[in-house]
C-alpha cells in the first residue's frame, strides 16, 4: 500500500491510544486531558466522523432511550429535554470536542486491525488501516503503553437479522434500522416492524402517518414506561435562572435517585410496579384500545429484567390510538410474497419489512490481539471490576450500564484510569495486569452478565465470546451504578489482584 499525504498524521509513539470516538472515547479524551495533561494520547475511529452509535444509526426518529442528564457527560451540562434526537446528541458531542480542542487528537477512517503486547518492551504494537477519503489505504503502526477500548459493544458493520423461512419469497423490501437506506420512500406503503424494543418503539411512531400503515410485530411484549419528554425540576430551575452547571448536577442526582428507587421496587415488589406500568399504558391508549394491554403490552418477565423502554409523550400509543399503527403478537412461521405468516395461520400484509431485531456483539473491536506472541483467549479470562482482564496487560475496556446510562460508567472509568496512570507514574511502573490471587483460585465463575440479572438476545447469542466474572470483589461485573459510584473511586491498587512491573 502506498503512502498518502496526511494533514494530521497519527503519532507513532503514545502513552494512551483511545480506540473509538463515540460517547465513551470522547469522554475518555476529556478525562485524560483534564486529569493527566502530560500524557501523549490520540483517538482512532474507523468511521468517517465522531459519534459512534449516533453516527451509525440514522433511521427515522432515532433518539436516546436514556435521559441526557445522565447520558450526557457529568462535566458538560445538558440544556434540552431529557430524551434527545440523534442529531441533538451529535451536536452536543461536537460542542464537547470543540470546547476541549480535541479535533487534532481524533483520527477518522483509522481502523485497528491488530494489537500485539510485548512484556519485554511493556507496550502495545498496534497496526491500523487508514482509509483516506482520497488516495490508497495506508497501514500505520503505533506503539502505545496503554489501550483504552471505547469501541462499544456491537458491530457497526451490520445489525442482527434472524433467518426466517421464505425471506427470498417476500415481494417487497427488507431493511435493518442500522443500515437504513437513503432512497427508501414509504409513502403509501404497508410497513411491518419486527421487534418490540427501543428501536421499534421509536420507529413505529416516526413512520406512522408517513406510510399507509405500520405494524409492530413482536414475538413477546416489552415493558414500556411513558411520560412527558420533560423534566419538571430542570424546567423550574431554568426558570429561576440557576447556572446550567448547577442544574445539570442537581437534576442528574435526582434522576439517579429515582432510577435506583424504581430498580429496587422492580426486585422487591415487581407485581406492584407491573400494575403501575400497565395502568399508564391503558391510559395512554385510551378506553377504546385498553383491551390491547393484556395481549400486547404485558410481558412474562418482571420489569427491568430486560431494559425498560421509555415512550416519550406516549407517541407510540398515540399512533395506535389514531389508527396509524397497530401491534401484532405471535411467532413468525415464514415470509410469504405478500408479507409474514404467523404460526396461528394469520398473514400480516407488508410492502416493506423492517427487522428491528438487535445487534451483533463486537468483542474488543474484533481486533486480532496477541500477548507475547500468543493469541488472546478473551473468553478464558476473568474480569477485574468489569474493566480489566486477567492475561491482558495495560488495557481498559469501557462497558457501560444496561439499566442506567452508558456514560455514567464511562465517567467513573475515566476517573479510575487516570488514578491508575498517576499511581504507575509515581512508582515508576510500566505495566499492570490483573491476576487471580491464591485465595481466588477456587472461586465460582459465572458469565460476564448473569442471565438472571439481565438477558437480552444479543448477549445470549454471544456470551461464549466474553470473559467470566467471579463471586467476590474485585472480580465482579455488577452492572450497578449505585455500587460502582462508591467502589470504583475507592478501588485498591495494592490488594494483590493487580500485578505491576
Q: pLDDT tens-digit profile of 150-185?
A: 998 888 888 999 999 999 999 999 999 999 999 999
1, containing H or E segment: none
Residues whose CB falls within 8 Å of the CB of residue 236, separated by 6 or more in sequence, listed in order: none
Predicted confidence at residue 307, as pLDDT, reads 78
pLDDT over 50 at 2, yes or no: no
Q: For residue 455, what pLDDT band results from cuts at 50, 70 and 90?
A: low
pLDDT over 50 at 85, yes or no: yes
- The domain 13-156+360-500 is placed in CATH, from the list 3.10.20.30, 3.20.20.70, 3.50.50.60, 3.40.50.11540, at 3.50.50.60
Q: What is the pLDDT of residues 280-321, one digit of tens each?
A: 999 999 999 999 999 999 999 888 877 788 999 999 999 999
User: How buried is residue 271: exposed, middle or buried, by Cβ count under 10 Å (0-12/13-18/19+)?
Assistant: exposed
Predicted confidence at residue 305, as pLDDT, reads 79
Smallest CA-to-CA distance from 430 within 124, 35, 220, 4 is with 124
pLDDT over 70 at 349, yes or no: yes
Higher pLDDT, 1 or 444: 444
Predicted confidence at residue 366, as pLDDT, reads 87
Distance separating the N- and C-terminal Cα atoms of the chain: 37
Q: What is the pLDDT of residues 175-215, one digit of tens each?
A: 999 999 999 999 999 999 999 989 999 999 999 999 999 99
pLDDT over 70 at 452, yes or no: no
- Cβ atoms 302, 277 nearer than 8 A: no
Angle at 475 between CA 473 and CA 480, to 5 degrees: 75
Predicted confidence at residue 304, as pLDDT, reads 82
Domain with CATH 3.50.50.60 in the chain: 13-156+360-500, 167-236+263-355
- Cβ atoms 284, 314 nearer than 8 A: yes
- Cβ atoms 19, 44 nearer than 8 A: yes
How far is residue 15's CA from residue 71's CA, in Å, rounded to a whole number? 28
How far is residue 470's CA from residue 382's CA, in Å, rounded to a whole number? 7
Largest CA distance in the chain: 72
Angle at 469 between CA 468 and CA 471, to 5 degrees: 140
Predicted confidence at residue 429, as pLDDT, reads 98
How far is residue 398's CA from residue 52's CA, in Å, rounded to a whole number? 14
Q: For residue 365, what pLDDT band results from cuts at 50, 70 and 90?
A: confident
Predicted confidence at residue 313, as pLDDT, reads 96
Bin 267: left if φ > 0, else alpha if -120 < ψ < 50, else beta: alpha
Q: Where are the beta strands (DSSP E) in 195-254?
A: 213-218, 224-227
User: How buried is residue 494: exposed, middle or buried, by Cβ count under 10 Å (0-12/13-18/19+)?
Assistant: exposed
Return the DSSP state at 10: P
**CATH 3.90.1300.10 given to domain 167-236+263-355:** no
pLDDT over 80 at 50, yes or no: yes
Return the DSSP state at 269: -
In the numeric block, which cell numbers belong to residue 231? 423534566
Q: Which range has the worst mean pLDDT, 184-193, 378-387, 415-424, 460-469?
A: 460-469
Whole-number percent of the chain with pLDDT over 90: 85
Predicted confidence at residue 219, as pLDDT, reads 92
Predicted confidence at residue 8, as pLDDT, reads 78
How far is residue 497's CA from residue 435's CA, in Å, rounded to a whole number? 5
What's the mean per-residue pLDDT of the chain?
Answer: 94
Higher pLDDT, 459 or 97: 97
Q: What is the pLDDT of residues 398-419, one digit of tens each?
A: 999 988 899 999 999 999 999 9
In the numeric block, which cell numbers belong to residue 456? 437480552
Q: Which range has the worst mean pLDDT, 106-115, 449-458, 469-478?
A: 449-458
Task: Tell me what the mean pLDDT of segment 423-442 comes to.
Answer: 97
pLDDT over 80 at 95, yes or no: yes
Task: Tell me what the mean pLDDT of segment 490-495 comes to.
Answer: 95
Q: For residue 5, what pLDDT band results from cuts at 50, 70 and 90?
A: very low
Supply φ then ψ for residue 82, to 5 degrees. Answer: -60, -45
How far is residue 228's CA from residue 315's CA, in Å, rounded to a whole number? 10
Amino acid at each position: 500500500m502506498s503512502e498518502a499525504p496526511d494533514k494530521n498524521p497519527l503519532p507513532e509513539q503514545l502513552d494512551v491510544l483511545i480506540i473509538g470516538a463515540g460517547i465513551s472515547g470522547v469522554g475518555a479524551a476529556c478525562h485524560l486531558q483534564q486529569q493527566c495533561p502530560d500524557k501523549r494520547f490520540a483517538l482512532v475511529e474507523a468511521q468517517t466522523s465522531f459519534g459512534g452509535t449516533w453516527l451509525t444509526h440514522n433511521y427515522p426518529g432515532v433518539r436516546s432511550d436514556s435521559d441526557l442528564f445522565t447520558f450526557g457527560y457529568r462535566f458538560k451540562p445538558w440544556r434540552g429535554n431529557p430524551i434527545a434526537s440523534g442529531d441533538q446528541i451529535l451536536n452536543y458531542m461536537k460542542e464537547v470536542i470543540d470546547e476541549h480542542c480535541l479535533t487534532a487528537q481524533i483520527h477518522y477512517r483509522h481502523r485497528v486491525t491488530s494489537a500485539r503486547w510485548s512484556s519485554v518492551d511493556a507496550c502495545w504494537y498496534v497496526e491500523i488501516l487508514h482509509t483516506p477519503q482520497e488516495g490508497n489505504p495506508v497501514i500505520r503502526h503505533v506503539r502505545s503503553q496503554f489501550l483504552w477500548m471505547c469501541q462499544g459493544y456491537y458491530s457497526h458493520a451490520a445489525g442482527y437479522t434472524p433467518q426466517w423461512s421464505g425471506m427470498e419469497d417476500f415481494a417487497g423490501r427488507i431493511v435493518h434500522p442500522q443500515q437504513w437506506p437513503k432512497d427508501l420512500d414509504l409513502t403509501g406503503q404497508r410497513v411491518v416492524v419486527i421487534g418490540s424494543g427501543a428501536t421499534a418503539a421509536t420507529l413505529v411512531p416516526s413512520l406512522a402517518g408517513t406510510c399507509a400503515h405500520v405494524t409492530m410485530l413482536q414475538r413477546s411484549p416489552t415493558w414500556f414506561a411513558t411520560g412527558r419528554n420533560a423534566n419538571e425540576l430542570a424546567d423550574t430551575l431554568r426558570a429561576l435562572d440557576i447556572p446550567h452547571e448547577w442544574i445539570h448536577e442537581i437534576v442528574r442526582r435526582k434522576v439517579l435517585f429515582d432510577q435506583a428507587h424504581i430498580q429496587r421496587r422492580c426486585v422487591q415488589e415487581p407485581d406492584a410496579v407491573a400494575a403501575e406500568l400497565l395502568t399508564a399504558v391503558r391510559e395512554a391508549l385510551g378506553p377504546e384500545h385498553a383491551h390491547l394491554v393484556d395481549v400486547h403490552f404485558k410481558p412474562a418477565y418482571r420489569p427491568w429484567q430486560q431494559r425498560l423502554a421509555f415512550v416519550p409523550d406516549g407517541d407510540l400509543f398515540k399512533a395506535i390510538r389514531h389508527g396509524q399503527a397497530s401491534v401484532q403478537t405471535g411467532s413468525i412461521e415464514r415470509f410469504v410474497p405478500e408479507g409474514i405468516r404467523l404460526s396461528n395461520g394469520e398473514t400480516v400484509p407488508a410492502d416493506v419489512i423492517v427487522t428491528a431485531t438487535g445487534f451483533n456483539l463486537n468483542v474488543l473491536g474484533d481486533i486480532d490481539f496477541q500477548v507475547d506472541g500468543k493469541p488472546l483467549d478473551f473468553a478464558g479470562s476473568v474480569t477485574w471490576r468489569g474493566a480489566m482482564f486477567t492475561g491482558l496487560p495495560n488495557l481498559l475496556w469501557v462497558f457501560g450500564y444496561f439499566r442506567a446510562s452508558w456514560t455514567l460508567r464511562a465517567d467513573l472509568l475515566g476517573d479510575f484510569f487516570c488514578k491508575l496512570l498517576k499511581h504507575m507514574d509515581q512508582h515508576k511502573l510500566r505495566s499492570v495486569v490483573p491476576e487471580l490471587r491464591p485465595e481466588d483460585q477456587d472461586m465460582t465463575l459465572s458469565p460476564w452478565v448473569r442471565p438472571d440479572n439481565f438477558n437480552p438476545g444479543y448477549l445470549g447469542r454471544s456470551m461464549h465470546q466474553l470473559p467470566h466474572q467471579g463471586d467476590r470483589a474485585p472480580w465482579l461485573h455488577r452492572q450497578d451504578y449505585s455500587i460502582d459510584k462508591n467502589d470504583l473511586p475507592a478501588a485498591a491498587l495494592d490488594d494483590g489482584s493487580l500485578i505491576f512491573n
